[in-house]
Amino acid sequence: MTRIACIGLGTMGGPMAGHLLDAGHEVAVWNRTPDKADDLVARGARRAATPADCAADADVVVTCVSDSPDLEAVVLGADGAAAGMREGAILLDCSTVAPSTETRIAEALAARGCEVVDAPLSGGAEGARNGTCTAFVGGSEAAFAAVRPALEAFCKTITHLGPTGAGQAAKAVNQIIISGTYASVGEGLAYAERAGLPLEALVEALSGGAADSWILRNRSPKYISRTYDPGFRTVLHRKDLGIAISEGEELGLDLRLTRLIAAWQDALIAAGYGEEDSSALGRIGTGDVTP
């Protein structure tokens, strides 16, 4: 049993805290919108008044928020987690943020004797709900070992890829790869529909060969029904691609395909589809939205 603080109880963070409770950990919770904590409190979690209060006495402070500024606020802001963390506690950040944000927070916490493990997740809402996320982990060996039991409560695949920041770099690779795949599956299925092919049978056939992907297998119903409920929201995916593009520039890479898909997502957001799933890129393939 570990004492765990859970800060950020959204689509991902809420179910994660539930899995940590189920695994027998002592869990304190905090969320900007307090009522999101109600169910967890009913299941035995301690309701904290502030991130600092939440982090007090915790061995591991799990953060899962939407963006870099949110993370800086809940960790380094007034009444932030850093103000409550004891020496030796570890920040396990499951948000997807810029590697530079992660590094800045790690430097601030090092002064207090605390390490940061970045462990951004893949697997989306259903991964969090089912406890089958994939975690890309960056941090020291010792810190990774200390947070591993917490990660095991909601992850199926946990891979340690290097020092703090390596998790965010790996997550950027994930977001780059899925962006082009979402777009190409959308374009392919738009063609199939127009050609009059039987779509379910086609998807099954395609899944048996070189066109197979998680997205084809798991997201085809959204493309086929043209009902793009999330899943993983386009605005968040677009935020992640922005991180990848600017980090890519710093690495001397021009991410041409990622820039294109980001522009397509901007067109989707402008057309009012930003809250839809990443598979809404199918709207470009069908001609529903013109970038």
DSSP 277: B
Residue with Cβ nearer a copy of itself (74 or 190):
190
| Cα distance between residue 22 and residue 253, in whole Å | 43
Q: 2: alpha, beta or left, given left = phi > 0 and alpha = psi -120 to 50?
A: beta
Total residues in contact with a copy of itself, by rule CB under 8 A: 70
To a copy of itself, the closest distance from the beta carbon of 278 in angstroms equals 9
Residues 50 to 89 in contact with a copy of itself, rule: CB under 8 A: none
140 binds a copy of itself (CB under 8 A): no
123 binds a copy of itself (CB under 8 A): yes
Question: Residue 47 in contact with residue 181, Cβ under 8 Å?
Answer: no
Residue with Cβ nearer a copy of itself (80 or 248):
248
Nearest to 103 by CA among 148, 160, 168: 168
Q: Binding mask 227-266 vs a copy of itself (x if CB under 8 A, - otherwise)?
A: -----x-----------x--xx--xxxxxxxx-x------
Retrieve residue 152's tokens: 């095991």
Residues 172 to 191 in contact with a copy of itself, rule: CB under 8 A: 172-174, 176-181, 183-185, 187-191
- Kindly give, in sequence order, each residue whose CB lies less than 8 Å from that of residue 168, ignoring residues fewer than 6 positions away: 96, 97, 98, 99, 102, 118, 120, 136, 138, 243
Residue with Cβ nearer a copy of itself (69 or 162):
162
Nearest to 81 by CA among 8, 140, 18, 1: 8
Which of 156, 171, 222, 239 does the annotation list as catalytic?
171
Catalytic, 171? Answer: yes
Q: Binding mask 188-217 vs a copy of itself (x if CB under 8 A, - otherwise)?
A: xxxxx-xxxxx--xx-xxx-xxxxxxxxx-
Q: Which residues does the annotation mark as catalytic?
A: 171
